[in-house]
Amino acid sequence: MPKTGQPPGETSSNQPLSEFSEGLAPDRIGDEDAVAFLARFPDASVDIVITDPPYESIRKYKRVIVMASGVKDCGKWLQIFPNDRFEELFSEIYRVLKNDTHFYLFCDAETMFVVKPIAEACGFACVKPIVWDKASPTMTDQYRVRQEYILFFEKGKRTLFGEKIPNILTEKPVNMGYPTEKPVPLLKTLLRQSSLIGQIVVDPFCGAGGTGVAAALLERVFFGNDIYLEARKVAADRIGRLRDELT
């Protein structure tokens, strides 16, 4: 398979960006609430959503974080996205996705049980949970956790591109300046499996912008958003530098 992630024989489908509403531009990180950000997209205009909301159960893991910028933050770094807002979030994600597309949601085991029926009620089919094996356990006291889940949803029906890979993806965690950062190689795997060159990737809770970095590396078009200024700075800087290097 070519380095770009374009499966042999597959063609990309470029969406004319002029169709998008004011305030949206690729690689410009939006600063709104996730649901308001998604509301800017027309119906059936997005090829894939990969996202990682700060779900309620994350409260357990809160601790003092020192970011790469030196900002010390204890608690404020993640404003929780409450469970009772998942219905409006998933309805918007379902609306903006084209037919026959995929939606990946990072979560822990507790949140997985909460969100699966809500997403199904919004129209998604849950294909299966994917396990992100972090290769080393965290500091929990009972049966130390060394995985997170990525719930894999379908709108309509779509086969994966690429190889038949197992549903356990092993990748060491990264911490390059923002908490809860997801590794770019893991995000690239999801993008390769479910999107093509030139297609539109959206992450409404983009944090440090890992999804955008993976999208840039694979020549996808990225629209990201985060309400937290520190996140937007890190994400815009990473994606901007990479796009410069690649052109």
Ligand X SMILES: C[S@@+](CC[C@H](N)C(=O)[O-])C[C@H]1O[C@@H](n2cnc3c(N)ncnc32)[C@H](O)[C@@H]1O
Q: Which residues bind ligand X (CB under 6 A)?
A: 33-34, 52-54, 78-79, 81, 178, 180-182, 204-205, 207-208, 210, 225-228, 231
Q: Which of 179, 183, 103 is nearest to 135 (CA)?
A: 183
Tell me the closest approach of the beta carbon of residue 225 to ligand X, in angstroms: 6
Comparing CB distances to ligand X, the nearer of 6 and 81 is: 81
Residue 91's identity, in one-letter code, is S
Q: Is the dihedral of CA 53, 54, 55, 57 positive or negative?
A: positive
Tell me the closest approach of the beta carbon of residue 7 to ligand X, in angstroms: 25
Q: Which residues in 5-43 are b (16+ Cβ under 10 Å) and which e? A: bbbeeeeeeebeeeebeeebebbbbbeebbbebbebbee
Comparing CB distances to ligand X, the nearer of 54 and 129 is: 54
Comparing CB distances to ligand X, the nearer of 14 and 79 is: 79
Tell me the closest approach of the beta carbon of residue 65 to ligand X, in angstroms: 11
Tell me the closest approach of the beta carbon of residue 115 to ligand X, in angstroms: 14
Tell me the closest approach of the beta carbon of residue 144 to ligand X, in angstroms: 21
Comparing CB distances to ligand X, the nearer of 90 and 228 is: 228
User: In which residue are the tokens 């950000």 written?
Assistant: 37
User: In which residue are the tokens 């990479």 written?
Assistant: 242
Comparing CB distances to ligand X, the nearer of 78 and 236 is: 78
Residue closest to ligand X when measured from CB atoms: 207
**What residue ranges in the chain does DSSP mark as E strands?**
46-51, 64-66, 72-74, 97-107, 125-133, 147-155, 168-170, 200-203, 221-224
